[in-house]
Each structure stands twice: as C-alpha cells, then as structure tokens.
Amino acid sequence: MLLKTRHEVFAVVVLLKLNQFITIRTVSKRSFRWVIGIQFVAGLVAGYGLSSIPELRTYKLLNLAGLFYALLGVLVLSEMIATDGWKDFCVRKLAPSVLWGHTTIPVGTIFGSLIAAIMRKPSSRAVGLFSFAFWGISLLVLLPFEKIVAFPQFPFVKRDVETRWRWLGFFLVLGGVGAQLVAAVMDLRQ
C-alpha cells in the first residue's frame, strides 16, 4: 500500500501514536507522568547540548543511538543480573518506557534544537532533522515491539515474562547493531 498524500501519511502517524497512548492503561498514571517528564527533559537537554557541537553529522548521532540500544540490550539480557524480579521489571516497566521514549525523547530533542537554533548553535538543524526522522521511523519499527514485548497481542507470542524478556533484549540488540551498521554505511559514503 502506497500512501499518496501528506494527509494520508499524517493520518497513519496519528493512528499509530493514538494506539500507543491507549496502551498506557497498564501502568500507573503517576509513574507514567514521571517517566514521560524525565524523558522529555532528557531529550530537551540532549537536543540543546548536541546542537552546540560544531559540524555534527547525522551518522554520528545514529551511531550514538545504536551504541545506547546495544548497551541497553546487553544489560537487559545479562545473566549476571537476570533474576525473576529483573525480568519482570524489564518486561513490565522498561519495555513501555522504551516505547514511550521513542516519542518523548525525540520531541524533547526537537524542542532543544529549536531553542539552540534561536541561540544560533552550529548543529541545531542537524539535530532537529535527525530527531524528527528518528521519531517518524520509530513509529513503524516499534509496532512489532509493542505487539510482542510491551503489550503482547499476537497469538504466536507466549505471554510469559521469560519470552517477552528475551524478545525485549533481541529488539534492543538488533536495533543497536542495525543503527550502527547504517551509521557505518553513511560514514563510508561521505
């Protein structure tokens, strides 16, 4: 299916985000507000700070994101800390936070880069465009993550914590390594 107009693309984006925010009913409102607030402020600070770096390239930002995902995936799957309590925390708290972070952190980063643009920081445009693109792409990429890990809805996925924990680690490591590979190719082309 090919979307032909900007309005159709916008409608798909709105529906995907609406679906994501409907799923917050499984987490308490208080923790949801704290997580969203912290993620937004972290994105705001990161957007402003990264905009201050002269001649910042998109592939460097992508490599940084990939390293973060890979590190988080390794920590999640680490057998050293893989107790039942850790697995439950990863599946019930960390997975929804990762899901929501793909909206709040880029939006915060966009606002941070806008503030940096007003202050005439050298890389504000690169950071803003990267954040907007990252947010848009994550809408599609996170759909299977949401349906398999955060709020399982597929019939072929076991709903037990162990299976969801393994899927969470798989998605994080795969996303991190994939982002690093794309960043490496982008670096080679420059």
Tokens representing 136 are 């848009």
Domain spans in the chain, listed from the N-terminal domain onward: 34-189
Sign of CA dihedral 67, 90, 168, 151: negative
Residue 52 — pLDDT band, cuts 50, 70, 90? very high
Out of 8-12, 79-83, 111-115, 120-124, pick the least confident.
8-12
Band (6; pLDDT cuts 50, 70, 90): low
pLDDT at 190: 80
Quickly list DSSP for the chain: ----SHHHHHHHHHHHHHHHHHGGGGS-HHHHHHHHHHHHHHHHHHHHHHHTSTT--HHHHHHHHHHHHHHHHHHHH-TTS--HHHHHHIIIIIHHHHHHHHHHHHHHHHHHHHHHHHTT-TTHHHHHHHHHHHHHHHHHHHHHHIIIIIS---TTS--SHHHHHHHHHHHHHHHHHHHHHHHHHHHHH-
At 112-140, the pLDDT tens digits run: 999 999 999 999 999 999 999 889 888 88
What confidence tier does 5 reach under pLDDT thresholds 50, 70, 90?
low
The pTM of this model reads: 0.77
What is the distance, to the nearest Å, from the Cα of residue 19 to the centroid of all Cα atoms in its chain? 16
Looking at per-residue pLDDT, the higher value among 176 and 29 belongs to 176
